[in-house]
Amino acid sequence: MYKTISLFGKTVSDAQIDIVNKYAGKIEAINVDLGSKVDKGDVLLVQELQDVNAELLKAQARYREADATASKNDTEYSADYYKYKADYELAQLNFERYKKLHDMGAVSKLEYDKITQVMVNAKAAYESLAEQKMYDGIPAELYAKEQVAERRYQEFVLLQNKKNDMILKAPRAGVISYRNAEVGSYAPAGTKLLTITDNSGFYVDCAISEYDAAVLVAGSSISAEIESLGKSFPGEIVFVSPSKGENDRTYTARIKLFAQTETIKAGMFARSELKFLQKDAALYVNKDVIVDKNGKKYIFVVTDSGKLEQREVKTGLRNDVEIEIVSGLNDGETIAIDNLSRLRQGLEIQTAGSKGDSV
């Protein structure tokens, strides 16, 4: 039992990419026109860069200033840390010495209080650096300066990116199929300026039924005839949708064409046909001889006595013309094939031709 699936659709190019400006501005240069062939990375269009260059230099200066300040602060912090630590250790030694002398009555209370104050001040200065809150292992005083420098750097990077985005380059090879830009004109952000069409390859998307979706398999070889060219081109089924589309409620099969020719254009009507074996051995009849009643399927079988028997059958596989009979009918039996609406159980008939005209 064979099944033939007919596929219809229009050719679609591998890619069609719209070139849209991210930032508003005047157009300073255009390097392409309709039909121009471009390669990936080619500069297509340049917006006016005078203002962004000035902003970039300003941001760079701010970053360098903040970075220098952070570096200077780091050096000063390290120097102060070791100085205050040494001062505190010395003050602590002097305090211990004066404390013993004071306890012995060798120094006055005034001298003892003065050395105590020196030790307290030294300790406070040292601990102000040594006991700061840490962020990622960095003292708060240094971390704050480094964060300012990092913020300035990110501002500089953003402006660099802005400048790069105002120089529009081709994301892939192709042909310019749309142009809406002129030198000196102002382009608001989000304007579709150019379109690149990649005609290096084509595919055909075909709407298919659920019966066809159940049997089509990605990887199957197939040829597609393009009617306007009068030629067939080899291809392959590369995709069969796993679910119905939300809008048209149909399945989709995509055919990838292997042709490398400039004669194919996007939007050309293409048709394909795929025939494959559904089952090595099957008992099947023309689907038009099946009678549906109350959700059950029947066939009128001609008995040996020449009368009709309305017999319930179970069906299986189907194609555009035939349907498999799983049970209820035997090979070699004669069935009615027309005037079905006028037939009934037990009706006596005469067959056209010999009795050998059978399933």
Query: Which residue type, as a one-letter code, is found at position 83?
Result: K
- pLDDT, one tens digit per residue, over 254-297 is 999 998 788 898 899 999 998 877 788 889 999 889 998 888 99
Task: Give the integer Cα–Cα distance in Å for 348 and 308.
Answer: 6
- Contact yes or no for 253/216 (Cβ under 8 A): yes
Going by their DSSP bridges, the two strands 174-179 and 37-38 should be labelled as antiparallel
- At 89-101, the pLDDT tens digits run 888 898 888 888 8
CB within 8 Å of 13: residues ≥ 6 apart: 197, 198, 199, 201, 202, 266
Q: What angle do CA 61, 62, 64 make, to 5 degrees?
A: 65
| 358 pLDDT higher than 50 | no
Backbone angles phi, psi at 220, to 5 degrees: -75, 135
Contacts of 236 (CB under 8 A, 6+ apart): 219, 220, 221, 222, 255, 256, 258
pLDDT digits (tens, 9 = 90+) for 74-90: 888 888 888 888 988 88
* Residue 41 confidence class, pLDDT cut points 50, 70, 90: very high
Q: At residue 357, does pLDDT exceed 50? A: no
**CA gap 39, 334 in Å, rounded:** 68
Range 323-334 average pLDDT:
90
If you average pLDDT over residues 68-73, what whole number do you get?
88
Q: What is the 3-state secondary structure (H, E, C) of the chain?
A: CEEEEEEEEEEEEEEEEEEECCCCEEEEEECCCCCCEECCCCEEEEECCHHHHHHHHHHHHHHHHHHHHHHHHHHHHHHHHHHHHHHHHHHHHHHHHHHHHHHHCCCCHHHHHHHHHHHHHHHHHHHHHHCCCEECCEEHHHHHHHHHHHHHHHHHHHHHHHHHHCEEECCCCEEEEEECCCCCCEECCCCEEEEEEEEEEEEEEEEECHHHHHHCCCCCEEEEEECCCCEEEEEEEEEECCCCCCCCCCEEEEEEECCCCCCCCCCCEEEEEEEEECCCCCCEEEHHHCEEECCEEEEEEECCCCEEEEEECEEEEECCCEEEEEECCCCCCEECCCCHHHCCCCCECCCCCCCCCCC
Task: Kindly report the backbone phi and psi dihedral angles of residue 202, in degrees, each rounded to the nearest multiple of 5, phi listed first.
Answer: -135, 155
Q: In whole angstroms, what is the distance from residue 78 CA to residue 73 CA?
A: 9
CA distance linking residue 34 with residue 9, whole number of Å: 27
Rounded alpha-carbon distances, angstroms, from residue 265 to 27, 36, 199, 261, 272: 31, 16, 8, 9, 17
Least confident of 145-154, 177-186, 347-356: 347-356
